[in-house]
């Protein structure tokens, strides 16, 4: 590459990064959206033929593919229990203690007797939420740039980057759709449901509003009571671990429902749940529940135009 070309390329890169830092889109994305909006290139979509037909049947048309992405470093601390109990790093989340059943107080990690703690990782949860928010803002900006009413078939990619500690990438890709002559919306709707599901949803009297997420992360530091129960011969319910997992699930579901209320929706459909456990140092475990769904509003109380026809396919 010539010196001028190399310098120009570097300029572009710097400008893109500056735009991202402001929360906006990199240059390449801005240019592509502009081309699509001005009708200078054919619309692209990853819709199948069936989805296209279904969307048109519902009164909409595809506009173009849109994407939003961001990579964050999550500043969270793990296993933060000391001789004196939990430090202040819990961020005000839920904490439950499991005192030593033999009456001793915590003598520090590694001692025979210690108090157990289940605590909510607020910083980790907040980190995931912020990463997601940044990616969502960008996909919505692209959709708005196209003059779309909404985005369907959004696929989410969520992963830690190898070799980059505590990193999280959040990417979402979907197809923007619009209804010609429809009213301008403050914010385009988003849905992880595909084109055919979108059409059925609409015919059923619901309209998608936004993608909603729920996240619950609990760290379980077993106390000596729990350790003893784990080594016993009998069949016993392990209270601390049961509680920790249940708490993580409740946090996740509550978070999701709070997001549904924030976008002023009636509920969420198609929620997918993903429970992971990670071994942290020592005997501690992190339990994480991640949920993703589409928030909807009911716009019509009446049922379908016609009840479904039960058929028996011979083949």
**CA 265 from chain center: how many Å?**
17
Q: Which is nearer to other proteins, 92 or 303 (CB)?
A: 303
Q: Which is nearer to other proteins, 25 or 196 (CB)?
A: 196
Among 265, 284, 286, 288, binds other proteins (CB under 8 A): 265
* Bridge partners (DSSP) listed for residue 150: 177, 189
Sign (positive/negative) of CA torsion 295, 289, 157, 161? positive
- Scan residues 193-232 and list those touching other proteins (CB under 8 A): 193, 196-197, 200-207, 209, 214, 229-232
* Residue 260 makes contact with other proteins by CB under 8 A: yes
If one counts every other C-beta atom within 10 angstroms of the C-beta of residue 12, the result is: 13
Phi, psi of 39 (to 5 degrees): 70, 20
DSSP letters of 243-263?
HHHHHHHHHHHHHHHHHHHHT
CB of 27 to other proteins, least distance (A): 31
3-state class (DSSP) for residue 310: coil
Among 31, 112, 272, 274, binds other proteins (CB under 8 A): 272
Residue 16 to residues 10, 20, 37: CA-CA distances in angstroms?
Answer: 10, 6, 20
Q: Which x/- pattern, by CB under 8 A, does the window 156-185 give for other proteins?
A: -----------------------xxxxx-x
* Bridge partners (DSSP) listed for residue 71: 169
- Scan residues 12-51 and list those touching other proteins (CB under 8 A): 48, 50
Among 18, 75, 95, 261, binds other proteins (CB under 8 A): 261
- Scan residues 98-157 and list those touching other proteins (CB under 8 A): 149
Instruction: Please name which of 59, 45, 43, 70 lies closest in space to residue 194, comparing C-alpha atoms.
Output: 45
Query: Judged by CB under 8 A, which stretch of 32-40, 95-103, 156-164, 249-257 contacts other proteins?
Result: 249-257
Residue 258 to residues 176, 191, 214, 263: CA-CA distances in angstroms?
Answer: 26, 18, 9, 9
Q: Which is nearer to other proteins, 29 or 245 (CB)?
A: 245
Among 38, 40, 233, 281, binds other proteins (CB under 8 A): 233
Among 58, 130, 138, 158, binds other proteins (CB under 8 A): 58
CB of 209 to other proteins, least distance (A): 7
Among 145, 223, 225, 293, binds other proteins (CB under 8 A): 293
């Amino acid at each position: 590459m010539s010196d001028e070309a190399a310098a120009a390329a570097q300029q572009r890169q710097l400008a893109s990064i500056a735009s991202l830092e402001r929360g906006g889109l990199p240059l390449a994305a801005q240019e592509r959206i502009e081309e699509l909006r001005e009708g200078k290139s054919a619309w692209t979509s990853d819709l199948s033929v069936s989805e296209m037909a279904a969307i048109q049947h519902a009164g909409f048309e595809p506009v173009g593919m849109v994407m939003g992405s961001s990579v964050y470093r999550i500043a969270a601390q793990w296993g933060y229990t000391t001789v004196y109990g939990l430090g202040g790093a819990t961020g005000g989340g839920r904490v439950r203690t499991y005192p030593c059943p033999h009456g001793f107080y915590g003598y520090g990690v590694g001692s025979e007797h210690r108090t157990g703690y289940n605590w909510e990782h607020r910083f980790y949860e907040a980190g995931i939420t912020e990463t997601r928010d940044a990616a969502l803002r960008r996909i919505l900006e692209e959709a708005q740039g196209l003059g779309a009413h909404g985005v369907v078939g959004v696929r989410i990619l969520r992963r830690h980057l190898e070799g980059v500690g505590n990193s999280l990438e959040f990417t979402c890709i979907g197809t923007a759709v619009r209804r010609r002559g429809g009213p301008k919306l403050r914010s385009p709707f988003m849905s992880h449901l595909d084109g055919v599901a979108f059409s059925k949803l609409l015919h059923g009297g619901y309209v998608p509003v936004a993608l909603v997420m729920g996240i619950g992360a609990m760290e379980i530091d077993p106390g000596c009571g729990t350790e003893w129960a784990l080594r016993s011969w009998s069949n016993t319910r392990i209270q601390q671990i049961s509680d920790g997992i249940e708490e993580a699930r409740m946090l996740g579901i509550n978070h999701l429902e709070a997001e549904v209320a924030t976008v002023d929706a009636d509920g969420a459909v198609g929620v997918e749940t993903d429970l992971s456990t990670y071994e942290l140092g020592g005997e501690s475990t992190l339990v994480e529940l991640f949920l993703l769904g589409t928030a909807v509003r009911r716009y019509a109380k009446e049922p379908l135009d016609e009840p479904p026809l039960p058929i028996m396919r011979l083949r």
